[in-house]
């Protein structure tokens, strides 16, 4: 499904474990720089800051527009921030708080030309929209399988390019004879095998639908509700409508109102689940329809959002 050698894939417990294996396992020294964005996943930022505090590694953060006018703005932002000390770029394939899809391949190829390694956070992109490893051209990749593949919680995936396996220390110590063996990353002590055994069923379900058909349906659902709300006054999108920059996830806000209160009202009054996002650069509601979401449900969501935009939140 990912289009790589099986001996470049390890099964982990989630994207966080996959990415922390890389961020903590790569040999970086004091003064070396890691480049990522202010919108990177919180746990990954915490991991990088820990290395910064303990080892003197420098974390270099860039801001990207919300949303960008075009996807090349993201590539340019990364390129401009590179310094002679940049050793590693971490980039989210799809930013979890906005749904922004990033130009991973362009960034990875730009980095490789400068001798910089790349980690791709694919927690939300994997199995949501269709791609292969060759479409990314990254050195390392981590994802969860419980999100868009619908495998059980406690399943994730780690990709390490074969020639780089020996360079990454595992989170749990492994025998020296495993230095170049991808399985060293699966040495995590006693744990339940049940979640891993269910991955095959999730793959059967995904492949039965077809990755490209699944992506097409998710894109249809997201545009269905976005097109209804984009004409409404006071409603602002923090996600681009450009198909190259979004798929199923989008972020929307009603100007002048507390987004957390909107989210609470939607759920408590209408049982509509959203994810309120409060970030230092923006705020809004993350909306994520899935294959089982009906058009009737999306119509209801749009009706309620339109009413809030026009009249405000009802008095408590």
- Domain-by-domain residue ranges, the chain? 6-200, 210-311
Which whole-number Å values give the CA distances from 33 to 11, 60, 117, 252, in the listed order? 28, 7, 11, 33
CA angle 97, 102, 105 (to 5 degrees): 150
Which whole-number Å values give the CA distances from 224 to 18, 46, 51, 288, 295, in the listed order? 34, 36, 43, 12, 8
Tokens standing for residue 74? 């993201």
Tokens standing for residue 82? 């590179």
Q: How many residues does the structure list for the chain? A: 316
The label of the residue with tokens 């050793």 reads: 87
For residue 89, the cross-strand partners are 35, 118
Question: Has domain 6-200 been given CATH number 3.30.70.100?
Answer: no
- pLDDT grade for 178, boundaries at 50, 70 and 90: confident
Sort strands 58-62 and 140-144 into parallel, antiparallel or unpaired.
unpaired
Cα 168 to Cα 238: distance, rounded to the nearest angstrom: 36
CATH of 210-311, one of 3.40.50.620, 3.30.390.10, 3.90.1150.10, 3.50.30.30: 3.90.1150.10
- pLDDT grade for 316, boundaries at 50, 70 and 90: low
The label of the residue with tokens 């310094």 reads: 83
121, HSE (Cβ side, Cα atoms, 13 Å) = 29
Distance of CA 51 to the CA centre of its chain: 21
pLDDT tens digit sequence for 80-109: 999 999 999 999 999 999 999 999 999 999
Name the strands in the sheet holding 275-279, side by side, starting at the edge strand that comes first in the sequence: 235-237, 250-254, 282-287, 275-279
Please name which of 7, 5, 8, 24 lies closest in space to residue 16, comparing C-alpha atoms: 24
Predicted TM-score (pTM) of this structure: 0.93
The label of the residue with tokens 């974390």 reads: 59
pLDDT at residue number 175 = 86
Distance of CA 67 to the CA centre of its chain: 16
pLDDT tens digit sequence for 124-171: 999 999 999 999 999 999 999 999 999 999 999 999 999 999 999 999
């Amino acid at each position: 499904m990912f289009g790589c050698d099986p001996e470049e894939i390890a099964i982990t417990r989630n994207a966080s474990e996959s990415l922390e294996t890389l961020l903590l396992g790569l040999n970086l020294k004091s003064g070396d720089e890691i480049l990522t964005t202010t919108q990177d996943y919180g746990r990954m930022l915490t991991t990088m800051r820990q290395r910064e505090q303990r080892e003197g590694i420098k974390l270099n953060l860039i801001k990207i527009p919300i949303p960008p006018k075009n996807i090349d703005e993201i590539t340019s932002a990364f390129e401009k921030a590179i310094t002679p000390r940049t050793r590693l770029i971490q980039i989210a394939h799809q930013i979890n708080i906005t749904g922004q899809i990033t130009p991973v391949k362009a960034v990875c190829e730009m980095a490789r030309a400068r001798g910089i390694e790349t980690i791709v956070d694919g927690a939300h992109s994997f199995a949501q929209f269709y791609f292969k490893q060759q479409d990314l051209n990254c050195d390392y990749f981590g994802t969860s399988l419980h999100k868009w593949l619908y495998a059980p919680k406690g399943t994730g995936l780690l990709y390490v390019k074969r020639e780089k396996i020996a360079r990454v220390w595992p989170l749990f110590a492994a025998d020296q004879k495993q230095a170049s063996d991808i399985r060293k990353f699966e040495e995590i002590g006693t744990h339940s095998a049940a979640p891993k055994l269910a991955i095959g069923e999730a793959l059967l379900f995904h492949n039965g639908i077809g990755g490209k058909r699944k992506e097409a349906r998710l894109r249809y659902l997201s545009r269905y509700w976005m097109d209804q709300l984009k004409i409404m006054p006071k409603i602002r999108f923090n996600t681009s409508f450009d198909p190259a920059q979004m798929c199923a996830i989008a972020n929307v806000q009603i100007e002048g109102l507390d987004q957390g209160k909107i989210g609470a009202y939607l759920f408590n009054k209408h049982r509509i689940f959203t994810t309120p996002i409060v970030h230092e650069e923006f705020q809004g509601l993350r909306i994520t329809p899935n294959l089982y979401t009906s058009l009737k449900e999306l119509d209801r969501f749009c009706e309620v959002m339109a009413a809030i935009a026009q009249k405000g939140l009802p008095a408590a």
